[in-house]
């Protein structure tokens, strides 16, 4: 796919009929201009210029492409201006709700940069694990583990969440490593427990799905506490990856049944939820765009 730098080099060479003059006008080296034009020709599988020792001239294909390239550059410039205008014009308050563990571990580390970038925006963050009534509580956005929303709300995926089974090496040394999912029934198991149905674990490997009834002497409704209990050797834990990645990396936890993927009622992604009118507001869209970029880069 041609990019803006290729198009800019092509258009400038076409206007000035010279690679050297185009390089001077663009403030880059002659070799870079030649490289970008060659890349564009390769992308289009067409020769855009006929070249001699004295001059550069457009081929018929180059003449046909020139107007499209100019139009594309104009659209890119207009888009850049629009984004800059939004950055300057964004103002007002954003009331944001998010789950506690993900909000603390991930979201709270990203938001200060958004506030710094947009001096006109005031941000209020509320961390809780209940399903907030967005309209009644006047929240602009809620960032939740994916769940079935009310039909009058708009949802958009934000970032994927993977679930894993993990346990402390000390626990596995004492109790043994589960070899198949059915073995979990004989182990102490830990999960983010809020309902009795959370003791029925669903696992999937390739096309095979199954459920295992597990037992635990320690039930907790905070996922951070589940990590602490697993590291302390209380059992095999079902955890979201953002909570246990560091413990897995430094050896405090190890994967259990890595071929089997847990399937929870919390889903596999953090989803942004809002009323239709709130989702359309530029400052809310700007926040979601910022988070998508930051979370992909994380």
Question: What is d(CA 184, CA 203) in angstroms, rounded to the nearest whole number?
Answer: 11
| Segment of 45-59, 66-80, 179-193 carrying the highest mean pLDDT | 179-193
Question: What is d(CA 289, CA 279) in angstroms, rounded to the nearest whole number?
Answer: 12
Query: If you average pLDDT over every residue of the chain, what do you get?
Result: 89
Stated pTM of the model: 0.65
Residue 181 reports pLDDT greater than 70: yes
Look at residues 112, 149, 110, 151 and name the one whose alpha carbon lies nearest to residue 132: 149
CATH number for the region 163-263 comes to 3.40.190.10
Look at residues 101, 103, 123, 105 and name the one whose alpha carbon lies nearest to residue 113: 123
Question: What is d(CA 2, CA 95) in angstroms, rounded to the nearest whole number?
Answer: 40
Other C-beta atoms lying within 10 Å of the C-beta of residue 15: 13
Selected from 3.30.2130.10, 3.40.1390.20, 3.40.50.720, 3.40.190.10, the CATH number assigned to the domain covering 91-160+268-297 reads 3.40.190.10
Residue 247 reports pLDDT greater than 80: yes
Question: What is d(CA 262, CA 127) in angstroms, rounded to the nearest whole number?
Answer: 25
Residue 53 reports pLDDT greater than 80: no
Convert the pLDDT of each residue in 22-43 to its tens digit. Answer: 899 899 999 999 999 999 999 8
Convert the pLDDT of each residue in 116-172 to its tens digit. Answer: 999 889 999 999 888 878 878 889 999 988 656 677 888 998 999 899 999 999 999
Q: Is 257 left (phi over 0), alpha (psi -120 to 50) or beta?
A: left
- The pLDDT of residue 91: 85
Residue 209 reports pLDDT greater than 70: yes
Q: What is the CA radius of gyration of the chain?
A: 27
Q: What is the mean pLDDT of residues 232-239?
A: 95
Question: What is d(CA 61, CA 244) in angstroms, rounded to the nearest whole number?
Answer: 56
CATH architecture of 4-88: Orthogonal Bundle (1.10)
- The pLDDT of residue 10: 92
Residue positions counted in the chain: 298
């Amino acid at each position: 796919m041609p990019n803006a730098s290729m198009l800019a080099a092509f258009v400038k060479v076409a206007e000035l009929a010279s690679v050297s003059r185009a390089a001077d006008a663009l403030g880059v080296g002659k070799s870079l201009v030649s490289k970008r034009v060659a890349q564009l020709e390769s992308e289009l599988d067409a020769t855009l210029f006929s070249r001699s020792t004295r001059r550069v001239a457009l081929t018929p294909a180059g003449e046909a492409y020139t107007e499209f390239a100019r139009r594309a550059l104009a659209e890119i410039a207009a888009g850049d201006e629009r984004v800059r205008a939004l950055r300057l014009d964004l103002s007002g308050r954003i009331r944001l709700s998010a789950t506690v563990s993900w909000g603390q571990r991930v979201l709270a580390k990203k938001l200060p940069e958004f506030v710094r970038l947009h001096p006109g925006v005031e941000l209020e963050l509320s961390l809780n694990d209940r399903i907030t009534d967005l309209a009644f509580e006047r929240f602009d956005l809620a960032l939740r583990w994916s769940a079935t929303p009310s039909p009058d709300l708009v949802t958009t995926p934000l970032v994927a969440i993977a679930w894993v089974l993990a346990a402390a090496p000390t626990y596995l040394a004492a109790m043994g490593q589960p070899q198949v999912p059915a073995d979990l029934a004989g182990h102490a198991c830990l999960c983010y427990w809020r309902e009795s149905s959370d003791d029925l674990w669903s696992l999937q490997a390739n096309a095979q799905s199954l459920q295992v009834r597990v037992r635990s002497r320690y039930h907790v409704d905070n996922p951070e506490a589940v990590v602490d209990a697993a590291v302390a050797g209380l059992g095999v834990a079902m955890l979201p990856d953002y909570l246990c990645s560091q413990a897995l990396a430094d050896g405090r936890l190890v994967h259990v049944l890595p071929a089997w993927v847990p399937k929870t009622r919390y889903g596999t992604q953090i989803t942004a939820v809002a009323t239709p009118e709130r989702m359309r507001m530029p400052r809310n869209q700007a926040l979601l765009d910022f988070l998508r970029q930051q979370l992909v880069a994380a």
